[in-house]
């Protein structure tokens, strides 16, 4: 009789192990844990601890064992085990695992029992606490109405006719906002929005958080001044996680710092000219730097290794901009010769898409032997100054020194153009890089982009449409794409120094040396273009201009322009300049504008009056608080402003250089050149770079590790000379290796490195 096999029905409920039961299981491979710790120490600055732990782990066999050729079992080494298990294991893998445990603990903990005062720590109590073995098991979701506390009548639920009953956290029942870090207020606002409540005004970040107080008690204070460069630091950038600061200097070096410890992590070497710009990819994985040596270099942010060298430039590279959208992975580069190139970040080896040819006036060959009739033209060489993307990566704007001062491109078909260029359907002579059309050269009139026309209206508006005839018509008959033509935005009569899109992407803010800042609005793909001019009051600089004795009348420049984080305000820094070759600054001022009407709201006052004697080139709106602005300039003072009330929150002067530099390296001018707010949990930290090579770290919290960080931080190989081949690959002349392959050395002072 044949046996009949039958399937056993599963039990209706599969029991799940609680956290206490899971901890009784046998422990996993201990070697893997030691391997993670060693890999973390290897990527940090604790080189002595790494070597000691590696030696002891090999002696005691903590990393496992191996079998030699005689069949005997011997302890394995760290290098062999890392190569066998995970050769590409990043050094930050262990912190990422701990962050994941912390995030899971926060998500699975009931809302009513959460601690609302960050920073959250792995050492505190919680459902996934590592120091509380008797913690309660993971709790499931609560049923609605488990606690009968009605929402107040100011919530959105009441306006919709609903009466939900949800447990209100303790922080929402307080009448006053809890004191502490700014992230606490941000957390409270997010929780209130999630529960359908109006955000109380008391939950907004307090202005006292950014107020500078005497004696360093509370408010903003100076943590430390870090020196890692021997030249002026014109580029300062914070990564999107808030854990790193990146600086670029005139000494051709790029350095990555830790915002938690203030220690130098990596030095990126390869350029042979001054660093002009830094840009981060939207996924926070790639860093691009540009230099006066005519190259842009691509780096891997996590360890500072080079990825690619972009070298299709005839001169210095002045501007960089990443597309914020991951769907449009573009990098925009702006050359000193006014050339504009678009790169595909998914394939750095692919040729770029030229949007604008180099300007003939900026050609070194044409400017080397100027004639008598063209002497004025050779001096007025067109140079690219600034560039930016809109939030979707479909529009770019570029500012230049001479007409056309402001150009824009629509990139809605950039994917198709890259695909056809890669497949050989297009050539650079047919479509890519061709801007002029028959009968109209670049810069004459108003060119129409792919969208069709650009009709003007309002102040500063205007324009026409260039018909696509001649060459464009022949290209359409051949089945090729028409030339990617720029759209000129008329209105400025001077060099455009700053260009930025709003966060919504429907407005463009520009500042120029004609004394005017403009707000641009349009419909669709740059159609029905309009602009609003924001001019300083006529009597603004009357007193300063009256001090001049004869000569040409002074002019007003807009040195910088920036958006507030909510897009409701615009900030400008303008200055009065004397008409000479050096254009010295006579007075400068900060202004707050309303973007809806372009009306002047406030003129931010200084201690001695509404003006300063030196220009301000650093405007840093707070990333989350729309009423906080930080400014810095050539006077060496960082000022914090409450732009909602138009008042000063305090000043943080540049500390004297003798605190961290010997007399031989001291700079006479502590000019502040660039800066950045932190991101994430470090959003209240402010970093500012100076002409003395220092990086100033400021904040409102208590950061003992930053305050005790060493002032001078250099690796032994930072100042080694480099040699370059024809492909722009760099070799350390002292060691004969590529700079990123040099052995990591302990941090030391500048005197030791020299």
Q: φ and ψ at 674, to 5 degrees?
A: -160, 170
**Region of poorest pLDDT, from 473-482, 568-577, 598-607, 710-719:** 473-482
pLDDT of residue 485: 87
- pLDDT for 108: 62
Task: Read off the pLDDT of residues 59-68 as tens digits, 9 standing for 90 and up.
Answer: 888 888 877 7
Closest CA to 470 of 452, 461, 484, 483: 483
What number of residues does the chain have? 754
CA dist 560 and 372 (Å) reads 36
DSSP helix/strand/coil, 699: strand
CB 366 within 8 A of CB 382: no
pLDDT at 272: 94
- pLDDT score at 47: 85
pLDDT at residue 374 tops 90 = no
Q: What is the pLDDT of residues 136-186, one digit of tens each?
A: 443 333 333 333 333 343 333 333 344 444 344 443 444 334 444 444 555
Residue-averaged pLDDT of the chain: 75
Q: Percent helix, strand and coil across the chain, each rounded to 5?
A: 20, 30, 50
pLDDT given at position 68: 74
Rounded CA Rg of the chain: 30
How high is the pLDDT of residue 10? 42
State yes or no: pLDDT of 129 exceeds 70: no
CA distance 168 to 152: 10
pLDDT (tens digit per residue) in 28-45: 467 888 888 888 888 888
Element (DSSP H or E) covering residue 595: none
Please, which pLDDT band fits residue 603 given cuts at 50, 70 and 90?
A: very high
Q: Specify the range with the lowest mean pLDDT, choosing from 536-540, 544-548, 638-642, 646-650.
A: 544-548
Classify burial at 406, counting beta carbons within 10 Å of its beta carbon; exposed 0-12, middle 13-18, buried 19 or more: buried
641 neighbors 601 (Cβ within 8 angstroms) = no
Higher-confidence position of 300 and 18: 300
Q: E-assigned strands of 302-394?
A: 306-310, 317-322, 330-335, 340-344, 353-356, 384-389
Tell which wins on pLDDT, 294 or 214.
294
pLDDT, position 50: 87
Query: Can you tell me the distance from the alpha carbon of 201 to that of 486, in angstroms, rounded to the nearest whole number?
Result: 45
At 194, is the pLDDT very low, low, confident or very high (cuts 50, 70, 90)? low
Asked whether the whole model's pTM tops 0.85, one would answer no
- Paired with 25 in beta bridges are none
- Label residue 283 by pLDDT band (50, 70, 90): very high
Task: Considering only residues 708 and 16, tell me which one the structure prediction assigns the higher pLDDT.
Answer: 708
Residue 211 pLDDT > 60, yes or no?
A: yes
**Residue percentage of the chain with pLDDT more than 70:** 68
- Binned at pLDDT 50, 70 and 90, residue 195 comes out as low
* Average pLDDT of the residues in 489-505: 92
Question: Is the model's pLDDT at 628 over the cut of 80?
Answer: yes
* pLDDT at residue 611 in the model: 66
SS (H, E, C) 432-455: CCCCCECCECCCCCCCCCCCCCCC
Q: Which residue has the higher pLDDT, 566 or 146?
A: 566
Which stretch of 83-87, 206-210, 550-554 has the lowest confidence by average pLDDT? 206-210
- The candidate with the shortest Cα–Cα distance to 278, out of 259, 261, 298, 293, is 298
Largest CA distance in the chain: 122
Angle at 296 between CA 290 and CA 302, to 5 degrees: 90
5: Cβ contacts below 8 Å, ≥ 6 apart? none
| Rounded distance between C-alpha atoms, residue 100 and residue 328, angstroms | 29
Range with the poorest average pLDDT among 145-154, 222-231, 672-681: 145-154
Cβ atoms of 514 and 494 closer than 8 Å: yes
pLDDT band for position 582 (cuts 50, 70, 90):
confident
Is the pLDDT at 24 greater than 60? The verdict is no
Confidence at residue 658, expressed as pLDDT on a 0 to 100 scale: 57
Assign 120 a pLDDT band (cuts: 50, 70, 90): low
User: Which residue has tokens 């931010």?
Assistant: 604
Phi, psi of 132 (to 5 degrees): -120, 85
Asked whether residue 135 carries a pLDDT value surpassing 70, the answer given is no
User: Is pLDDT above 70 for 618?
Assistant: yes
User: Average of pLDDT values for 430-454?
Assistant: 34
The answer to whether residue 5 scores a pLDDT higher than 80 is: no
299-352 pLDDT, tens per residue?
999 999 999 999 989 899 999 999 999 889 999 999 999 999 999 999 999 999
Residue 417: pLDDT over 50:
yes
Average pLDDT (538-542) is 79
Both tokens of 303, joined, read 């360890």
């Amino acid at each position: 009789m044949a046996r009949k096999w039958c399937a056993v029905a599963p039990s209706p409920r599969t029991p799940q192990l609680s956290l206490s039961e899971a901890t009784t299981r046998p422990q996993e491979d201990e070697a893997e844990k030691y391997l993670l710790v060693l890999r973390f120490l290897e990527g940090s600055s604790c080189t002595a601890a790494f070597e000691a732990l590696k030696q002891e782990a090999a002696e005691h066999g903590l990393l496992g064992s191996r079998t030699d050729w005689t069949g005997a079992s011997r302890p394995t080494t760290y290098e062999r085990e890392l190569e066998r298990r995970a050769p590409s294991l990043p050094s930050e893998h262990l912190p990422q695992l701990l962050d994941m445990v912390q995030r899971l603990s926060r998500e699975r903990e009931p809302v009513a029992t959460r601690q609302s005062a960050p920073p959250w720590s792995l050492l505190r109590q919680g459902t996934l606490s590592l120091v509380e073995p008797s913690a309660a098991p993971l709790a499931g979701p609560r049923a609605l109405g488990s606690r009968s506390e009605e929402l107040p009548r100011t919530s959105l639920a009441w306006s919709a006719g609903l009466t939900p009953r949800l447990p209100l956290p303790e922080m929402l029942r307080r009448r006053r906002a809890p004191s502490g870090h700014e992230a606490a207020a941000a957390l409270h606002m997010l929780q209130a929005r999630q529960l359908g409540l109006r955000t109380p005004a008391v939950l907004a970040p307090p202005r006292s958080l950014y107020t500078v107080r005497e004696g360093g008690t509370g408010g903003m204070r100076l943590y430390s001044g870090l020196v890692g460069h021997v030249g002026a630091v014109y580029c300062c950038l914070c990564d999107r996680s808030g854990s790193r600061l990146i600086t670029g200097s005139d000494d051709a070096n790029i350095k990555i710092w830790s915002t938690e410890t203030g220690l130098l992590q990596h030095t990126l070497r390869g350029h042979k000219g001054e660093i002009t710009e830094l840009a981060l990819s939207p996924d926070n994985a790639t860093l691009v730097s540009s230099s006066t040596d005519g190259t842009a270099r691509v780096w891997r942010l996590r360890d500072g290794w080079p990825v690619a060298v972009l070298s299709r430039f005839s001169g210095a590279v002045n501007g960089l901009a990443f597309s914020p959208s991951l769907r449009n992975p573009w990098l925009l580069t702006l050359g000193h010769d006014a050339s504009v190139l678009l790169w595909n970040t998914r394939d750095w080896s692919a040729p770029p898409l030229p949007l604008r040819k180099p300007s003939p006036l900026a050609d070194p060959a044409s400017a080397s032997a100027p004639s008598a009739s063209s002497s004025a033209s050779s001096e007025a060489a067109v140079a690219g100054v600034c560039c930016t993307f809109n939030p979707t990566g479909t529009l770019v704007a570029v500012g230049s020194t001479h007409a056309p001062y402001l150009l824009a491109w629509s990139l809605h078909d950039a994917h198709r153009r890259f695909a056809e260029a890669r497949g050989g359907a297009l050539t650079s002579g047919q479509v890519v890089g061709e801007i002029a059309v028959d009968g109209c050269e670049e810069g004459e009139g108003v060119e129409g982009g792919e969208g069709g026309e650009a009709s003007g209206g309002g102040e500063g508006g205007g324009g026409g449409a260039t018909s696509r005839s001649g060459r464009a018509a022949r290209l359409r008959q051949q089945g090729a794409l028409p030339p990617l033509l720029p759209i000129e935005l008329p209105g400025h009569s001077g060099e455009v120094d700053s260009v930025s899109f709003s966060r919504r992407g429907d407005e463009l803010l520009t500042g120029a040396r004609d004394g005017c800042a403009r707000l641009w609005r349009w419909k669709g793909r740059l159609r029905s273009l309009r602009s609003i001019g924001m001019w300083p009051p006529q009597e603004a600089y009357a007193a300063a201009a009256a001090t001049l004795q004869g000569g040409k009348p002074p002019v007003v420049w807009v040195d910088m322009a920036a958006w507030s984080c909510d897009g409701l305000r615009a900030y400008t820094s303008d200055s009065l300049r004397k008409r000479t070759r050096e254009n010295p600054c006579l007075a400068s001022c900060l202004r707050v504008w309303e973007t809806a009407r372009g009306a002047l709201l406030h003129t931010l006052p200084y201690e001695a009056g509404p003006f300063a004697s030196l220009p301000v080139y650093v405007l840093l709106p707070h990333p989350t608080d729309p009423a906080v602005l930080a400014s810095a300039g050539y006077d060496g003072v960082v000022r914090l402003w409450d732009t909602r009330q138009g008042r000063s929150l305090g000043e943080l002067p540049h500390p004297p250089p003798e605190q961290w530099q010997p007399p031989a390296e001291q700079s006479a001018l502590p000019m502040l050149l660039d800066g950045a707010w932190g991101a994430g949990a470090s959003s209240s930290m402010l970093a500012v770079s100076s002409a003395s090579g220092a990086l100033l770290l400021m904040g409102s919290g208590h950061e003992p590790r930053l305050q005790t960080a060493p002032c001078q931080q250099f690796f032994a190989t930072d100042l080694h000379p480099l040699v370059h081949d024809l492909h722009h690959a760099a070799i350390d002349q002292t060691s004969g290796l590529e700079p990123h392959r040099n052995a990591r050395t302990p941090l030391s002072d500048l005197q030791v490195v020299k």
